[in-house]
Chains A and B, each alone.
Chain A
Amino acid sequence: MAFPRYSPAAPLPFSRLWPFFLLGPVLTALTGRAEVGVALAGFRPEWPFLLTLYLSLRTEGYLAYIGAFYFGLFQGYLSPTPPGLYSLKLLVGVLIVRGVIRKLELGGAGSLFLLTLGVYGGLAGGLEPWLLGLVKPAPKAAPYLTAETLLLTARICLITALACPLVFGILDRLFKPKEAP
């Protein structure tokens, strides 16, 4: 299963992507509604990250950055996190991914898996708890990143990376324009 590289000559236009911007919040809401034992145990992909990654790889930079900010605003709607935290995390993600894809050959499911694993792992396991600790220090002067939260983050990271090639396949079918015969 080969995934086409981002082509600056043929990025997905906003006219095809606008339903994508409705899909993002709905998928985020769906995660919150998922069965407690499943979602809270980390057995779910992080949809805002996957959708942002898709935008980073398939469309122009400015749309990817707007998407990252927008999905980030909705991501924290269920938790008392500082507003802007997830937006900043996803914006950094776009920055990294758009920097990486100019240097690496990204063609197959394996490279998407590794890209997600690396970028998401760094953002969710490093940047996010660090920023959170800066803006909203954890109670009892304890760090946010404990063994429990690290395990949970690792599980979400692995499932997001595993789901990435599959989700990209579905999104490509839905949003990529049909090529002329």
Chain B
Amino acid sequence: MPPRFKAFSPLFLFLLALALMSAYARNPKGPTSEIAQTLPLMILAPVNSGLNYVADEVENVWLNYFALLNANAENQSLKQTVTRLRRRVVELEEDRKANERYQVLLNLKAQNPKEFLAGRILAWDPGPWFQAVAVDLGSRDGVTPEAAVFSDQGLVGRVVELAPNAAKVLLVTDRSSGVDAFIQRNRVNVLVTGLGAGRLELEYVRKGEDVRLGDLVVSSGLDGIFPEGLAIGVISQVDNAGLGIFLRAELRPSVDFSSLKEILIRPTNPSPFDWTQLGPAVLTIFEKKVSRPRSR
């Protein structure tokens, strides 16, 4: 190594690190920032896949050979659960058919796209500042920035950075996350934001709105990122007593992030809500309400 390089390398590296940070501060989506952010992810994603493979094999051996001691009792319990769930499936099937009929009536385009990509979580961000994960789907699988990520339990987050073979997902519990949503019971529109450390809160809900403990909050689809009707969380705390015009409410996330392994990604974002798709009957009602003169 030439002595001149040895002498100047610290200064050069300090300047390089500062240059990377200032490039990000100027334009977080610029090419320099994107390459510097996605290159380590692209390199380490296969390492994480390998580690996951080894961990899964060890887990399989454990589950298949050592954890079958109470299998018989568990089998009986599961049979009862299956019977109960079958009955529930029939009920839900009836609800789905009814829902389809209502959608036809309203002439709404079905908001349930068939194409989702199934992926796995590669690794969790262990740092204290952000709530993020890496997943094994990337741009070559068709994932786009800001794509919605969810699981069978509900909303997980959105894609913030993309490499060809992996993506970084900002969880809904991160402090910079926000989701337009409504309370399922009474359709009160709310904004759900992350509090960090696996917690969520409701914002801009006026005191006096009907918000109760145990209410399920679902995505509204109006933000153009998340599909409609995904479970976000259950209201676990409501505080009406503080100062100000808004109440304070916390949610318990629907997704159990500590056991989350598989995720679904909607590769492209839904287009913004198209009001022209509303049926003429609904539009007529809407116009009547708008044009109705206010009584004094």
Residues of A within 8 A of B (CB): 25-26, 28-34, 36-37, 39-40, 42, 44, 60-62, 65-66, 68-69, 72-74, 76-85, 87-88, 91, 94-95, 129, 131-132, 134-136, 138-140, 142, 144, 146, 148-149, 152-153, 156
* A66 contact set on B, CB distance < 8 A: 9, 13
| Contact B123–A33 (Cβ < 8 Å) | yes
A32-B48, A32-B134, A62-B9 are contacts. A82–B40 as well, Cβ < 8 Å? no
**Residue of B22, B127, B134, B259 touching A81 (CB-CB under 8 A):** B127
**29 A-B pairs with C-beta separation under 8 A:** A25-B44, A29-B44, A32-B44, A32-B123, A33-B48, A33-B123, A34-B124, A36-B259, A61-B6, A61-B10, A62-B5, A65-B10, A65-B13, A69-B13, A77-B134, A78-B123, A78-B168, A82-B28, A82-B33, A83-B20, A84-B17, A85-B17, A85-B21, A87-B17, A136-B28, A142-B175, A148-B128, A152-B128, A156-B128
Nearest Cβ in chain A — how far from B83, in angstroms?
33
Which of A65, A82, A91, A134 has the most chain B CB atoms closer than 10 A to its own CB? A82
| Contact A60–B6 (Cβ < 8 Å) | yes
| Contact B124–A78 (Cβ < 8 Å) | yes
Chain B, interface size category, equals 35 or more
- Inter-chain CA distance A148–B197, complex, in Å, is 8
**Residue of A83, A88, A144 touching B129 (CB-CB under 8 A):** A144
| Contact A79–B25 (Cβ < 8 Å) | no
| Contact A149–B24 (Cβ < 8 Å) | no
A62-B10, A69-B13, A85-B21 are contacts. A32–B124 as well, Cβ < 8 Å? yes
Chain A CB within 8 A of B265 CB: no
| Contact A148–B196 (Cβ < 8 Å) | yes
* A146 contact set on B, CB distance < 8 A: 196
| Contact A87–B20 (Cβ < 8 Å) | yes
A62-B9, A78-B133, A82-B25 are contacts. A33–B18 as well, Cβ < 8 Å? no
* A91 contact set on B, CB distance < 8 A: 10, 13-14, 17
| Contact A79–B41 (Cβ < 8 Å) | no
Nearest Cβ in chain B — how far from A94, in angstroms?
8
| Chain A residue at smallest Cβ distance from B133 | A78
Nearest Cβ in chain B — how far from A154, in angstroms?
10
* B133 contact set on A, CB distance < 8 A: 78
| Contact B257–A36 (Cβ < 8 Å) | yes
| Contact A140–B196 (Cβ < 8 Å) | no
| Contact B52–A138 (Cβ < 8 Å) | no
| Contact A44–B175 (Cβ < 8 Å) | no
Can you name 4 extra interface pairs (CB under 8 A) apart from A78-B125, A84-B24, A136-B24? A44-B126, A66-B13, A88-B14, A136-B28
Nearest Cβ in chain A — how far from B8, in angstroms?
9
Nearest Cβ in chain B — how far from A72, in angstroms?
7
Residues 19 to 56 of chain B near chain A (Cβ within 8 Å): 19-25, 28, 33, 36-37, 39-41, 43-44, 47-48, 51-52, 55
Nearest Cβ in chain A — how far from B260, in angstroms?
8
| Contact B18–A88 (Cβ < 8 Å) | yes
**Residue of A28, A40, A135 touching B124 (CB-CB under 8 A):** A40
| Chain B residue at smallest Cβ distance from A87 | B17
* B117 contact set on A, CB distance < 8 A: none
Chain A CB within 8 A of B246 CB: no
* A79 contact set on B, CB distance < 8 A: 125, 127, 129-130, 132, 168
* B258 contact set on A, CB distance < 8 A: 36-37
* A42 contact set on B, CB distance < 8 A: 126, 128
| Contact A88–B17 (Cβ < 8 Å) | yes
Which of A42, A72, A78 has the most chain B CB atoms closer than 10 A to its own CB? A78
| Chain B residue at smallest Cβ distance from A65 | B10
Nearest Cβ in chain A — how far from B35, in angstroms?
9
User: CB-defined interface of B100-139 with A at 8 Å, one 1/0 digit per residue?
Assistant: 0000000000000000000000111111111011100000
- Inter-chain CA distance A80–B161, complex, in Å, is 8
| Chain B residue at smallest Cβ distance from A39 | B126
Nearest Cβ in chain A — how far from B212, in angstroms?
26
| Chain B residue at smallest Cβ distance from A142 | B175
* A68 contact set on B, CB distance < 8 A: 13
User: CB-defined interface of B162-205 with A at 8 Å, one 1/0 digit per residue?
Assistant: 00000010100001100000000000000001001100000000
